Amino acid sequence: MDHPFEFPLDLPERGSRQRLAALHGQLHAAILDGRLKAGLRLPATRALADALGVSRNTVVAAYDLLLSEGYIEARRGAGNFVADLASRRQIVPTKTAADRDERRLALYWRQVDAMPEAMQLGVFTYDFRLGIPDSRPFPYDVWRRLSARALRNFSKAAPLYGHPQGSPALREAIASHISFARAVACERDDVIVTNGAQQAFDLLARVLVTPGRTVLAVEDPGYPPLQEVFRAAGAHVVGVPVDEEGLVVDKLPDNANVIYVTPSHQFPLGVVMSPRRRIALLDFARSRGAVIIEDDYDSEFRYSGRPLDALQTLDRDSTVCYIGTFSKCLFPALRIGYAVVPSWLRVALANAKYQTDWHGNVMAQDALAAFIAEGHLVRHVRHMRKIYAERRDALLDALKRHGDGRWHVHPSDAGLHLAVSLSGSVDAVELTTRAATAGIRLEALTSCALDPSASNGVAFGLGMIDVGRIDEGIYRLARLLDR
């Protein structure tokens, strides 16, 4: 008979007087350490006895001992079940025990006590949430067909692990796409495929940070998840102000080893870094041996004019790591991003990827490679650009008509959000709280700022709001401000 458990039960030889004690002890340990989950129905005594080659009396006696101890419970007509020990006794650790347990964590992680709010979605009538695209128009029928093809191809090949840098076909497709769309000059071997841009940041932190010595300069306000990854690795994070030309290069600390920027569409203010600032930033990095992380997260969606060259395109000294993602132009659940890195960094980053999770989802990568190569990505981006442009125009119009001195709109010609600074003494955090109770979801700029006093404003995302709700949502927000 097949063994009834996923773990072995090691019982003494037949004739030993220790078989009952061994069976009871091993079942008891499996319940305590969670291998036997609360609510699990245990095998019938006769079935377990036959499977283990012991007498039924031995199993009945072991179950009776566990029943008397409260580790299992009998239900009439249903059998024996593992008891829910957590509900029977709540163990409150003493302060000494809590302190001891906390000391087991690295210093950074002792300060983390909850999941990020971004994981908690909720439903809002007027949803201006940041960072989430509209995935409803995505061509799922095409994706289904390409995924099925990738699965068929996989079934015919040897079931090997993938390459840490990512599928060769996808890296080739990415290199071709960003060369066409962003004039980023790279070859297939320069690309490392990651599980979203966030893993790219994590890998860079692993290979670039020397704990206690590395200084990371970031835009302020800027993108908090990047900052936290580098803090966790032991870097010292320094905020640098942003103005209408982007990062103020003259304010960079002289000892900055790594500089993180979003030059194509600054997060969250939306400004575009000017050409002279781009040259100044590259000169700074070259003269000090610093590394620039260029996050080009949503520049596919540009609504007027020609996009400025990426920093990576202008770089002549191998200082720029170019990070991209498909979360904004396709959908976040895909979890595929990429890093285009200088040759001196490639081997280290690929090894960090290998040590972290070996490689990403091979079939999803092959499906995406075909999606790009067959032109579906370009067509989808072109379609979504029209949708977002309509929403952006409606939002700008509503902000203008209902503003009346209540806010100042930061100019932006790209991306999936707009930011405004609030006038007067209105507190942005208080406004977002009050707006949420009225069904309006906003993001306060202070949530992205190291210096909250310099960023009293809110940002409006374009991905979760239908165009027909925008005007009414802004009107209701204006009324809230009046009150």
Query: Residue 400: phi, psi to the nearest 5?
Result: -70, -45
What amino acid occupies position 283? Answer: D
Instruction: Identify the residue whose tokens are 């009107």.
Output: 475
Q: pLDDT tens digits for the chain (483 residues)? A: 456 787 888 888 887 778 888 899 899 989 988 889 899 999 999 989 888 888 898 899 999 989 988 899 999 888 999 998 876 555 455 556 556 666 778 877 777 766 665 555 668 899 999 989 999 999 999 999 999 999 999 888 876 788 999 999 999 999 999 998 888 989 999 999 999 999 999 999 999 999 999 999 999 999 999 999 999 999 999 999 999 999 999 999 999 999 999 999 999 999 999 999 999 999 999 999 999 999 999 989 999 878 788 999 999 999 999 999 999 999 999 999 999 999 999 999 999 999 999 999 999 999 999 999 999 999 999 999 999 999 999 999 999 999 988 999 998 999 999 999 998 788 899 999 999 999 999 999 998 999 877 789 999 999 999 999 999 999 999 999 887
CATH topology of domain 121-133+379-482: Aspartate Aminotransferase, domain 1 (3.90.1150)
Task: Give pTM, 2 decimals.
Answer: 0.79
What amino acid occupies position 381? Answer: V
Decide if 12 contacts 19 (C-beta within 8 A). Answer: yes
Alpha-carbon distance of 221 to 454, in angstroms, equals 8
What amino acid occupies position 120? Answer: Q
Domain at 164-375: CATH code: 3.40.640.10
Alpha-carbon distance of 367 to 140, in angstroms, equals 12
Decide if 280 contacts 272 (C-beta within 8 A). Answer: no
CATH topology of domain 19-88: Arc Repressor Mutant, subunit A (1.10.10)
Domain segments of the chain: what residues?
19-88, 121-133+379-482, 164-375
